[in-house]
Structure 1
Amino acid sequence: MKAVSLTRGRLEVVELPVPRPGAGQLLVEVKRCGICGSDLHSRLHADELADSLELCGYPRYARSDQRVVLGHEIYGEVVDRGPWCAGTIRSGTPVVTVPLVRRGRQVDGVGLSAHAPGGFAEHVVVQEALTLPVPNGLSADIAALTEPMAVAWHAVNRGEVTRKDVAIVLGCGPVGLAVIAVLKARGVATVIASDYSAGRRALATNCGADVVVDPAVASPWEGPTAGYGFMTTMPDEYNAGIDAIEGLTRLPVPWWASWRAMEAVGATRPKRPVVFECVGVPGMLDGILAAAPLHSRVVVVGVCMGADTLRPSLAVNKELDLRFAVGYTPLEFRDTLHALAGGTLDASHLVTGRVGLAGVASAFTALAEPEAHAKILVDPSLTTDRILPR
């Protein structure tokens, strides 16, 4: 079969044997596979990523000197299965999959390890238990977005965002756009998006952002968040506390009793935005800590590929809540798929191009230019090396 191999940063089309599914595994003919930011990072920063993953207990992440077939945002059709399968997914069934495979107790990330070749190929092996039939005749292009949209679904869950919250999305690449789409699917009333790229700002609007800001011209923190009652300075909060006590002392009960009653119903809970950092470059986190209103909840979704420096005193004095998000649960993956198939989650604006295996290298280059593309899907049936518009 044809596949795209990565070694020492070089992508090339190669001939490889069709993989054989092991116990509990399926062989899938790839129909679409999205190019993810993780793929771009793996090409340029494989060893840094591998070093980090080794500290997390996974020593088998792709290394730059290994031959790796990337691709983990997979949509395809089942063509074979290995032994000890449940057999509930028949051949010819269109499927998507959580990109993990297991041999014994060893689990590897599909497309992110030399031990688990990925979806930039004509065929790929996946885990039957993590594979889901695609419902409702969902189109190939949208079904292939299940995996990246599940990442956004999980990030929004990590943010514990309610419909009444103000969400601020910093960075409108594929991850940020997916977060915007999920936020709007959840009914979040106000989503503010920020990106330097005019093309990405336009896509953010298409994905449902209510306010879109060019940070070179205006701050996403000042004008767009005015009127929501966020505390922006420490004296603001101190004055609010003193004002509250002065008002409560006029009541016929001790002020602390009234305060405690208000606290029980959430009336003293500070108003704050939920911020999604979807850029992943050094300096972003410290900039957020400096600019965000007091008590902001910050969910870090962008992957910074180098060491970074931040000032914890900013987060301490503002009482900021800093969370990190990666991946998703199997249930979140399933729910994302069905939200896409049911039409409650609209991801149609994310895909900007398709390319065959011969054009994967050029697609990687194109994705470095934010004005041109957001999400490019690999379609192994295409013979051209040109990027075709969706």
Structure 2
Amino acid sequence: MQRVAVLTEPDHVVLETREVPEPGAGQVQVQVRAVSVCGSDVHYYDHGRIGGFVMHAPLVLGHETSGVVSAVGSGVGSPAVGTRVAIEPQVECGRCAQCRQGRYHLCPDIAFFATPPVDGSFAEYVVVPAHRAHPVPDTVSDEAAALIEPLSVALHAAAKADIGPGTRVLVSGAGPVGLLCLQVALARGAAAVAVTDVMALRREAATDYGATATIDGNDHETGLAALGAAIGQADVVLECTGVQPAIDLAVAATAPAATVVLVGTGSSITLPLDVVQARELTVKGTFRYAHVYPAAIELAASGRIRLDDMVTSHHPLEDAVGALLAARRDPLALKAVVHPSS
């Protein structure tokens, strides 16, 4: 038997005992070592839904996950029992048009951890397809291996924007994903990376992670002037807030022919059509990631991305609620990590 933390309704998590899942053909069982809390976990805890994804039954949260392979199903040669892995938390159908064209993250029938009705990894054991358990070297800690998931989000966004040497980048929002986007942009050779945020403590964190400049997003005109003085106009915007005022400032700061990638989740927003047209901006959506886990692991292992530094608290499974509330209680909190098997 194993322990599992279950969200039964908003603001209510209980610890249950369930059967340990056994791996089937092509699957591996993973003993979970670390699960970092995502903003989506917090949103489900607070509201029981994110947009059209709605809880209709109890849900196990957690999708940023690492562990060690503890059993394998038939037909699995790799990874072997004992291998430390980062789990890519999505299982696609493999048959639809999106899967056939390599866009498996857009599969209409995808099963993604901690997205209703699919349970996540606030549990001692999970089962995943063998090809979604990516081996990590011993130089990458369990906590950093869990953060391969949000790092993959940042890598996918940076690839959408085609960031390269000489690119002037604006990252809108200095939360965990924004700070990862900042680091990825620098790793890809960006000439300058400015970061906006309304919180001074977040801006200080962005400076620590290498931002060329940080801008107070509370005042549009002052912020725009400061951005112009710091980096000029942005060739690329990675918008990580999903908040209208931040989006307004980011779009206003673009250079002609710039690319704006919408990374942050939200609902309805408005874009200034006159600016988009007059500057011939390219506006792109981004949803999760595909085919980037090996590159993310390699980048983390190289030491060019500071993942361990982003972990600001550790919690046993019994304190899953404490992990979910960490950012609310501490404005400096970046990533709370739950350790189910501790």
Band the TM-score falls in, shorter-chain normalisation: 0.7 to 0.9
Q: CA deviation at 1:103?
A: 7.9
Out of 301, 307, 328, the position equivalent to 1:347 is: 307
- SS of 1:199 mapped into structure 2: helix
TM-score (ref. length: structure 2): 0.87
Aligned partners of 1:22, 1:104: CA distance in 2, in Å? 18
**Unmatched runs of 5 consecutive residues or more in structure 1:** 52-60, 231-271, 383-390
**1:368 partner SS:** helix
* SS in structure 2 at match of 1:66: coil
Flag the 1:45–1:314 CA change in 2: closer, same or farther, 3 A: farther
Distance 1:326 1:102, change over 3 A: closer
CA shift for structure 1 position 340: 0.8
Measure how far apart 1:313 and its partner are. 3.1
1:305-327 C-alpha deviation (Å, 9 max, x unpaired): x3333342332233222111122
Report the CA distance between 1:226 and its aligned residue: 3.3
8 Å Cα contact 2:86/2:145 also seen in 1: yes
Structure 1 residue aligned with 2:284: 323
Secondary structure of 2:67's partner?
A: strand
Q: 1:370 to 1:17 in 2, by over 3 A?
A: same
Q: Deviations over 1:176-216 (max 9, x none)?
A: 01101111222212110111222212221221111112223
Partner of 1:268: none
Cα drift, residue 274 of structure 1: 0.8
Identity %: 33
C-alpha distance in structure 2 between counterparts of 1:199 and 1:229, whole Å: 24
The CA RMSD measured in Å over matched residues stands at 2.4
Contact preservation (8 Å) 1:351, 1:375: yes
Aligned twin of 1:66: 57
Residue of structure 2 in register with 1:98 after alignment? 88
Number of residue pairs the alignment of both structures matches: 326
Which one-letter code corresponds to 2:187 in the other structure? A
> Amino acid of the residue matched to residue 129 of structure 1?
H
Deviations along 1:43-62, whole A, 9 cap, x unmatched?
3455453x2xxxxxxxxx5x
Report the counterpart of residue 78 of structure 1 in structure 2: 69
Unaligned 5+ segments in structure 2 are: 96-108
The residue number in structure 2 matching 1:302 is 264
Alignment of 1:1-390 (within 5 A): 1-9=2-10, 10-49=12-51, 51=52, 63-83=54-74, 85-101=75-91, 107-115=110-118, 117-216=119-218, 219-226=222-229, 230=233, 272-304=234-266, 306-330=267-291, 332-368=292-328, 371-382=331-342
Assess if the C-alpha contact under 8 Å between 2:134 and 2:293 holds in 1: no
Query: Are 1:69 and 1:111, in contact at CA under 8 Å, matched by a contact in 2?
Result: yes
SS at match of 1:378: strand
Q: 1:220 to 1:24 in 2, by over 3 A?
A: farther
Instruction: Quote the offset at 1:153 in angstroms.
Output: 0.8
Deviation per CA, 1:192-246: give whole Å up to 9, x if none: 011122221222122111111222368443233338664xxxxxxxxxxxxxxxx
Which SS does the other structure have where 1:296 is aligned?
A: strand
Greater Cα shift, 94-103 or 280-289:
280-289
Q: Residues of 2 paired with 1:324 and 1:31: CA distance?
A: 32
Larger Rg over CA atoms: 1
Cα deviation, residue 133, structure 1: 1.2
- Residue 337 of structure 1, CA deviation: 0.3
- Please report the TM-score for the alignment, with normalisation by the length of structure 1: 0.77
Greater strand content:
2
